Amino acid sequence: MEIITVSLVTCPKCGHAEKLSMAMDYCQFFHECAACGTLLKAKEGTCCIFCSYGDVPCPPVQKEKISRGE
């Protein structure tokens, strides 16, 4: 299975969605919405903004799921 490195992140405040590239080796904790300026922060229980607001989890989480056979 191939690791996906782009996620569609949707702002919970205004609904704006934007495609963002994800780093392979670390999680991104913050992102400023390009439309309304809201600072997106990782939700409690998730590692990053991609796992909180994206349509694809971050590469480290994807790798973990692959190693578990999910």
| CA-wise closest residue to 33 among 52, 54, 17 | 17
Task: Indicate whether 4 pLDDT > 90.
Answer: yes
Question: What mean pLDDT is predicted for residues 38-43?
Answer: 97
Question: What mean pLDDT is predicted for residues 6-22?
Answer: 97
**For 70, what's the count of Cα atoms within 13 Å in the CB-facing half-sphere?**
6
50 versus 70: the higher-pLDDT residue is 50
CB 58 within 8 A of CB 49: no
CB 20 within 8 A of CB 33: no
